[in-house]
Chain A
Amino acid sequence: MNEGRRKLVVVGNGMAGARVVEEILKRAADRFEIVMFGAEPYGNYNRILLSNVLNGSQSATEIFMNPLSWYRENGIRLHAGVKAMRIDRERKVVVGTRLQKAALAYSIQDTAEPDTAPVEEPYDNVIIATGSRPFVPPMEGFGGPGTFLFRTIDDCSRIADCARESRRATVIGGGLLGLEAARGLLTHGVEVTVLEAAPQLMITQLDPEAGDMLRQTIEAMGIKVMCNTITTKIVRTDGRITHLEFKDGTTLDTDMVVVSTGIRPITEIATASALTVNRAIVCDDQMRTSDPAIFAVGECVEHRGMLYGLVDPIWEQAKVLADVLTGTRSDAAYQGSKLGTKLKVMGVELASMGVTKPADANDEVVVYREPRRGIYKKLIVRGGEIAGAILLGDVESAGTLMQMFLAGIKAPERRADLLFGAPTGVGLLKVADLPDNAQICNCNGVSKEQIVAAIQDKGCHSVSKVGFCTKAGMGCGSCKSLVAQLLESYLGEVAYDPSEHFYVPGIPLEKSQLVGEIRNRGIKSVSEAFAQLTGGTEDPGSKVGLASLLKTLWPGEYEDERDARFINDRVHANIQKNGTFSVVPRIYAGVTTADELMRIAQVAVKYQVPLVKLTGGQRIDLLGIKKEDLPGVWKELGMPSGHAYTKAFRTCKSCVGTDFCRYGVGDSIALAQKIERRFQGVESPHKMKLATAGCPRNCSEAYVKDLGAVAIEGGKWEIYVGGAAGGSVRKGDLLCTVETHDEVLLYMGRFMQYYREHGKYLERSYGFLERIGIDTLRKILVEDSLGICAQLDAEIQKAVDAYRDPWTEAELPVYPAQFSGPELAQVLEVAENNG
Chain B
Amino acid sequence: MAKVIAAPITLGSAAAIPLGQGRCYVVAGEEIAVFRQRDGRLFATQNRCPHRQGPLADGLVGANKVICPLHAHSFHLETGKGGEPAECVQIYEVSEVDGQLVLNMEGVAVETCR
Contact assessment for B23 and A562 in the assembled complex, using a CB-CB cutoff below 8 Å: no
Q: B88 at interface (Cβ–Cβ under 8 A)?
A: no
Contact assessment for A827 and B4 in the assembled complex, using a CB-CB cutoff below 8 Å: no
Contact assessment for B69 and A567 in the assembled complex, using a CB-CB cutoff below 8 Å: yes
Residues of chain B contacted by A823 (CB below 8 angstroms): 11-12, 16, 23-26
Nearest residue, chain B, Cβ from A828: B7
A540 to B43 CA separation, bound complex (whole angstroms)? 15
Contact assessment for B55 and A579 in the assembled complex, using a CB-CB cutoff below 8 Å: yes
Contact assessment for A833 and B63 in the assembled complex, using a CB-CB cutoff below 8 Å: no
Nearest residue, chain B, Cβ from A571: B58
Residues of chain B contacted by A543 (CB below 8 angstroms): 60, 62
A255: min CB distance to chain B, Å: 52
Which of B2, B7, B67 contacts A833 (CB under 8 A)? B2
A831: min CB distance to chain B, Å: 5
A815 to B23 CA separation, bound complex (whole angstroms)? 13
A-B contact pairs, 5 of them (CB 8 A): A538-B39, A575-B70, A821-B24, A823-B12, A831-B4
Interface flags for A239-281 (1: CB within 8 Å of B; 0: not) read 0000000000000000000000000000000000000000000
Within 3-25 of B, Cβ neighbours of A (below 8 Å) are at: 3-7, 9-12, 15-21, 23-25
Q: A817 at interface (Cβ–Cβ under 8 A)?
A: yes
A212: min CB distance to chain B, Å: 47
A564 to B21 CA separation, bound complex (whole angstroms)? 9
Which of A540, A579, A828 contacts B58 (CB under 8 A)? A579
A240: min CB distance to chain B, Å: 58
A829 to B4 CA separation, bound complex (whole angstroms)? 9
Residues of chain B contacted by A579 (CB below 8 angstroms): 53-55, 58
Q: A783 at interface (Cβ–Cβ under 8 A)?
A: no
Nearest residue, chain A, Cβ from B55: A579
Contact assessment for A567 and B59 in the assembled complex, using a CB-CB cutoff below 8 Å: yes
Contact assessment for B39 and A817 in the assembled complex, using a CB-CB cutoff below 8 Å: no
Contact assessment for B23 and A540 in the assembled complex, using a CB-CB cutoff below 8 Å: no
Q: B109 at interface (Cβ–Cβ under 8 A)?
A: yes
Which of A540, A825, A834 contacts B61 (CB under 8 A)? A540
Q: B89 at interface (Cβ–Cβ under 8 A)?
A: no
Contact assessment for B28 and A830 in the assembled complex, using a CB-CB cutoff below 8 Å: yes
Nearest residue, chain B, Cβ from A564: B20
A571: min CB distance to chain B, Å: 8
Q: A563-B18, A817-B17 are in contact. List 10 more A-B contacts (CB 8 A).
A: A538-B37, A538-B38, A541-B60, A562-B18, A567-B58, A816-B15, A817-B16, A822-B26, A823-B11, A827-B28
Contact assessment for B16 and A829 in the assembled complex, using a CB-CB cutoff below 8 Å: no
Q: B65 at interface (Cβ–Cβ under 8 A)?
A: yes
Nearest residue, chain B, Cβ from A579: B55
Residues of chain B contacted by A459 (CB below 8 angstroms): none
Which of B7, B17, B24, B66 contacts A822 (CB under 8 A)? B24
Q: A832 at interface (Cβ–Cβ under 8 A)?
A: yes
Residues of chain B contacted by A562 (CB below 8 angstroms): 18, 20-21
Which of B17, B38, B60 contacts A544 (CB under 8 A)? B60
A578 to B7 CA separation, bound complex (whole angstroms)? 31
A818 to B21 CA separation, bound complex (whole angstroms)? 10
A269 to B20 CA separation, bound complex (whole angstroms)? 69
Secondary structure of the A side of the interface?
loop
Q: A527 at interface (Cβ–Cβ under 8 A)?
A: yes
Q: B97 at interface (Cβ–Cβ under 8 A)?
A: no
Closest 9 CB pairs of A and B: A563-B20, A538-B62, A540-B62, A540-B60, A833-B4, A822-B24, A567-B58, A829-B6, A579-B55
Within 536-569 of A, Cβ neighbours of B (below 8 Å) are at: 536-541, 543-544, 561-564, 566-567
Q: A577 at interface (Cβ–Cβ under 8 A)?
A: yes
A451 to B70 CA separation, bound complex (whole angstroms)? 37
Contact assessment for B70 and A563 in the assembled complex, using a CB-CB cutoff below 8 Å: no
Most chain B beta carbons < 10 A, residue from A530, A537, A540, A543: A540
Contact assessment for A541 and B17 in the assembled complex, using a CB-CB cutoff below 8 Å: no
Nearest residue, chain A, Cβ from B65: A540
Q: A426 at interface (Cβ–Cβ under 8 A)?
A: no
Tell whether A829 pairs with B5 under 8 Å between CB atoms, given A539-B62, A563-B38.
yes
A371: min CB distance to chain B, Å: 41
Q: A1 at interface (Cβ–Cβ under 8 A)?
A: no
Contact assessment for A566 and B62 in the assembled complex, using a CB-CB cutoff below 8 Å: no
A826 to B9 CA separation, bound complex (whole angstroms)? 7
Contact assessment for B66 and A817 in the assembled complex, using a CB-CB cutoff below 8 Å: no
How many residues of chain B have a CB within 8 Å of chain A?
A: 50
Interface flags for B71-101 (1: CB within 8 Å of A; 0: not) read 0101000000000000000000000000000
Contact assessment for A538 and B63 in the assembled complex, using a CB-CB cutoff below 8 Å: yes
A821 to B67 CA separation, bound complex (whole angstroms)? 19
B47: min CB distance to chain A, Å: 8
B15: min CB distance to chain A, Å: 7
Most chain A beta carbons < 10 A, residue from B28, B52, B63: B63
Q: A602 at interface (Cβ–Cβ under 8 A)?
A: no
A821 to B32 CA separation, bound complex (whole angstroms)? 12
Q: A820 at interface (Cβ–Cβ under 8 A)?
A: yes
Contact assessment for B11 and A825 in the assembled complex, using a CB-CB cutoff below 8 Å: yes
Which of B5, B67, B109 contacts A540 (CB under 8 A)? B67
A567: min CB distance to chain B, Å: 4
Which of B3, B67, B103 contacts A832 (CB under 8 A)? B3
A563 to B32 CA separation, bound complex (whole angstroms)? 19
Residues of chain A contacted by B65 (CB below 8 angstroms): 539-540
Nearest residue, chain B, Cβ from A496: B83
Q: B27 at interface (Cβ–Cβ under 8 A)?
A: yes
A288: min CB distance to chain B, Å: 55
Residues of chain A contacted by B109 (CB below 8 angstroms): 833
Nearest residue, chain B, Cβ from A818: B18
Residues of chain B contacted by A577 (CB below 8 angstroms): 52, 70
Residues of chain B contacted by A538 (CB below 8 angstroms): 20, 37-39, 62-63
Q: B31 at interface (Cβ–Cβ under 8 A)?
A: yes
Contact assessment for B31 and A822 in the assembled complex, using a CB-CB cutoff below 8 Å: yes
Contact assessment for A539 and B61 in the assembled complex, using a CB-CB cutoff below 8 Å: no
Q: A102 at interface (Cβ–Cβ under 8 A)?
A: no
A539: min CB distance to chain B, Å: 5
Contact assessment for A822 and B25 in the assembled complex, using a CB-CB cutoff below 8 Å: yes
Interface flags for A803-827 (1: CB within 8 Å of B; 0: not) read 0000000000001111011111111
Contact assessment for A825 and B26 in the assembled complex, using a CB-CB cutoff below 8 Å: yes
A588 to B6 CA separation, bound complex (whole angstroms)? 56
B18: min CB distance to chain A, Å: 4
A833 to B106 CA separation, bound complex (whole angstroms)? 11
Contact assessment for A831 and B5 in the assembled complex, using a CB-CB cutoff below 8 Å: yes
Residues of chain A contacted by B27 (CB below 8 angstroms): 825, 827
A563 to B23 CA separation, bound complex (whole angstroms)? 12
Nearest residue, chain A, Cβ from B23: A817
Residues of chain A contacted by B7 (CB below 8 angstroms): 828-829
Within 571-616 of A, Cβ neighbours of B (below 8 Å) are at: 575, 577-579
